[in-house]
Amino acid sequence: MATPTRDQLAAVRGRTIPDVVGTGLEILFCGINPSLYSAYTGHHFARPGNRFWPALYQAGLTPHQLAPAEQQRLTEWGLGITNLVARATARADELGPHELEEGGRRLAALLREHRPGCLAVLGVTAYRTAFRVPSAVIGPQSATLEAIPVWVLPNPSGLNAQWPLQRIAGELDRMRNWIRGSAAYGAGSAAASVRPGPDGEGTTASRRVT
């Protein structure tokens, strides 16, 4: 595909990309929102330099490195993709707190419908805002969302120089081992749950992980 022009990118501002979801997912990845490049192609994490697809492969989550155009194949390996906010923007910082909180409510509804084994949010700052948990850090979260375990991952954008490819892949591998080895994963243990309230206020409650 030829590199899109500035005008072509501007024309897709606000466009959405369908989720990649299915039954029996082990991990549902949640990005912040699509870039204009991704919206232009119709594929998640499609912007050149984004480390999502090579990191999946390096972490052993896919048997080979997928191209963004192969995104629907993710469900073959129990993986899916969604976004906190559906509309495409040039930069993630164009999204306001209210829009991210509304995205958190949409994400909770998606989890209730599809029940993945784990939710992996790609961007700690967006997660903090969407669920009003300012102390959240990269890694497993003490609170679940709709009784689904949550792991916060670094943003794989090429602009995130603090997290090179190998470091992102290492965090993905750590998450995979945590999912498969955690006593809470499918063990029916009690855990706190974070969920956006009807007014956007983050709330916590005791929930049963099943």
pLDDT at residue 198 above 60? no
**Is the residue at 9 inside a domain?**
no
Position 199 pLDDT exceeds 90: no
For range 17-37, the mean pLDDT: 97
Query: If you average pLDDT over every residue of the chain, what do you get?
Result: 89
pLDDT computed for residue 156 by the predictor: 97
What domain range includes position 115? 22-208
Helices 124-131 and 97-114 pack at an angle, to 10 degrees, of 90
Query: Tens digits of per-residue pLDDT, 175-185?
Result: 999 998 874 44
65: in domain: yes
In a domain, 67, yes or no: yes
Number of structural domains found in the chain: 1
Q: Is residue 189 part of a domain?
A: yes
Query: In this model, does residue 209 exceed pLDDT 50?
Result: no
Could you tell me the pTM of the whole model? Answer: 0.88
Average of pLDDT values for 133-162?
96
Which helix (H) or strand (E) is 95 found in, with range? none
Report, as an integer, the average pLDDT of 126-153.
97
> Would 131 be classed as within a structural domain?
yes
Q: Which residue has the tokens 């102390």?
A: 135
Q: For residue 128, give the 3-state DSSP assignment.
A: helix
Asked whether residue 11 is assigned to any structural domain, the reply reads no
Between 200 and 104, whose confidence is greater? Answer: 104
Amino acid at 125: T
pLDDT at 210: 21
Contacts of 172 (CB under 8 A, 6+ apart): 55, 56, 58, 59, 61, 153
- 150 pLDDT above the threshold of 90: yes
Q: Which residue has tokens 């194949």?
A: 73
pLDDT digits (tens, 9 = 90+) for 41-77: 999 999 999 999 999 999 999 999 999 999 999 999 9
Distance CA 146, CA 208 (A): 9
What CATH code is carried by the domain that includes residue 200? 3.40.470.10
Q: Is residue 57 part of a domain?
A: yes
**Is 16 contained in some domain?**
no
- Is the CB of residue 154 less than 8 Å from the CB of residue 138? yes
Task: Kindly provide the residue ranges of all beta strands, DSSP E only, lying in the chain, ordered along the sequence.
Answer: 27-31, 79-83, 118-122, 139-140, 143-144, 150-153, 190-196, 202-208
